[in-house]
């Protein structure tokens, strides 16, 4: 499995028909943030177990923790609550306030 790794800025791992995925992408568009979207449906169909294990390692979570979509990273850091994080980012200079 060749999973795309998080890049600089926002990386969003999404699924089709995921309402929360759509919301996160829309908020980022409105706030004019740069982001990359990784569609995960194919990974989940063809390599589910491997995908889940790789994501858990990237997210630095335990095996007993559930994974929910969207999975959002900012500059390679997993965001457990992406909307709360985005509320604290200034679009002008990427600092926190």
The one-character DSSP state at 78 is: E
CA distances from 79 to 24, 45, 47, 88 (A): 12, 25, 24, 12
Give me the residue spans of the domains in the chain. 10-87
Collapsing DSSP to helix, strand or coil, 86 comes out as: helix
Whole-number Å distance between alpha carbons of 60 and 95: 24
- Whole-prediction pTM: 0.84
**Model pLDDT, residue 3:** 86
* Tens of each residue's pLDDT in the chain, 97 residues: 788 889 888 999 999 999 999 999 998 999 899 999 999 999 999 999 999 999 999 999 999 999 999 999 999 999 988 877 766 665 554 443 3
| pLDDT the model gives residue 40 | 95
**Helix extents (H) in the chain:** 19-30, 41-46, 48-59, 82-87
Q: Does 10-87 carry CATH code 3.40.30.10?
A: yes
For position 95, what pLDDT does the model report?
Answer: 40
pLDDT of residue 93: 47
């Amino acid at each position: 499995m060749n999973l795309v790794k998080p890049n600089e800025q926002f990386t969003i791992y999404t699924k089709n028909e995921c309402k929360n995925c759509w919301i996160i992408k829309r908020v980022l568009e409105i706030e004019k943030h740069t982001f990359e979207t990784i569609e995960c449906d194919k990974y989940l169909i063809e390599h589910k177990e491997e995908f889940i294990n790789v994501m858990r390692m990237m997210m630095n979570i335990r095996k007993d923790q559930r994974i929910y979509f969207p999975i959002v990273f900012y500059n390679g850091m997993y965001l457990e609550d992406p909307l709360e994080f985005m509320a604290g980012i200034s679009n002008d200079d990427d600092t926190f306030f």
